[in-house]
Structure formats: structure tokens, C-alpha cells
Amino acid sequence: MDQRTYSQYCATARTLDLIGERWTLLLIRELLTGPKRFGDLQASLRGLGTGLLAARLKHLEREGLAHKITLPPPARTPAYALTEAGEELAPAILSLARWGLKWAMGERREAETFHPGWAVLGLRACFDAEAAAGLRAVYEFRVDDDVFHARIDDGTIEALHGPAQHPDATITISGEAFLQLTGEGLTLAQAVASGAASTSGDRGALRRLKDLFRLPTPRSRTAEAHQSADA
């Protein structure tokens, strides 16, 4: 497969030559939360055929953005992981996520899939470092069949797939309630009161959870909406 190029000696154009093809940025998004097997990537990127997935992974390998590894025991299976160059795309992807939360999300479309695990990057994108000052706690989230956790350490965050070894607080919630929690104004307290969620662990850590992640206020991109707001 020939690689298309903008043929411009410009850092932005050169970067888009590497990651601008369809699905490439989403592959990097998946790998930013840790190594993934080929099947894991297929499951998360519904609509991406086997042949195209293999081609995109070869492209990332060829360009030095990803490489093959063997997962540690007990898995011991082949997987893909980002290189240092691939990892350094994290700030750009998080910025795109924050922009999308403000300007692009809107209501969920009928044909759109959703994986709660995608929230791992969302936690990093919406993290409020000032609100987390002085806090050291590990939160484990169980959303339907997905499990992920966030380690907060005095204004920094590490968010990863999989269970935490020693969580300070655990949040168990249905996928539907989780979507409402992240996009429709539902609070965790309301979800617990309705029976759609439950919490356990350190009460102080749970109380601080509501302040740690701040979703940007959604905005409309249309000129009409801006004119109405200015009127």
C-alpha cells in the first residue's frame, strides 16, 4: 500500500503523513492505555477490517510508532505497544479528546458503539490537577464487564485498564448510567440512590472523587448559536 503524503516540508504536514490516515489515531488511542493484542484491537475498533488493521499496524511499526512485544506471564501472547515516539503523541490525543468533549460530542447516534474502557483516556483528559492536590488514592471503576483504575498522587494521574491491586475506593456502575454520568449530568450520588451504581472503600476518597474530573461545557459550532449567545 503506497503511503500518501502532503509533500510539504512542514512539521504539521510531516506528522499528518504519519498519523493522518483513517483509524491510525484511534489505534494510537488504544495503545496509549497499554499493550494490546490483535484481537483486543479488533474488539475495540468495530468496523476496522482485519486486513486494514494489519496494514495500519505494519505502518505504525515501519514508522517507529509501535512495535511487537510478548505479554508477561500468564498471558505470554504477542501484542503491540507504542514506542517512545508513539507515547509522545499522548498530549495531542488528550487535547483532541478535550476539544471533542466541548465541540463535537452532542447526543449519541444510533449506530455509534461505546466501550466504557475508552474512559481511561477520558479520565486523563478531564483530570483537574488542582483539585487533586494532596490526595493519594487509587480508584477502581467496574463498568459492566470493563474494569479500569486511576492512581492519583498529589495532582498527577495514572489511568490504566485492568483492576487495581489495592484500591482505596471502588465504583461499580452500569454502562448506561456511566454514559449519563459522563455526558448527561447524572451525579454519582444520584446513580447510587437509583441503584444503578454502588461504591465501597474509603469515604474520604469517595467524597473527593466528584471534584477530580471536570467535563468542559458543551458548545455549538454553528454561527447561529454564537450569534444567539452574543445577543
**Prior bond of 74 cis (ω within 30°):** yes
Instruction: Give dist(CA 41, CA 21) in Å, integer.
Output: 17
Residue-wise pLDDT tens digits, 150-203: 999 999 999 999 999 999 999 999 999 998 887 767 889 999 999 999 999 999
pLDDT more than 70, % of the chain: 95
Fold of 11-88: Arc Repressor Mutant, subunit A (1.10.10)
Q: What is the pLDDT of residue 226?
A: 53
Per DSSP, 166 falls in state S
Residue 2 pLDDT: 58
Residue 65 φ then ψ, to 5°: -100, -20
Closest C-alpha among 99, 113, 90 to residue 44? 113
What per-residue confidence (pLDDT) applies to 184? 66
Does the model's pTM come out above 0.85?
yes
Contacts of 148 (CB under 8 A, 6+ apart): 33, 116, 117, 119, 120, 140, 141, 159, 160, 161, 162
pLDDT tens sequence across 102-149? 999 878 888 888 888 889 999 999 999 999 999 999 999 999 999 999
Q: What are the structural domain ranges in the chain?
A: 11-88, 116-212
Q: Which CATH superfamily is domain 116-212 in?
A: SCP2 sterol-binding domain (3.30.1050.10)
Q: How confident is the model at residue 229 (pLDDT cuts 50, 70, 90)?
A: low
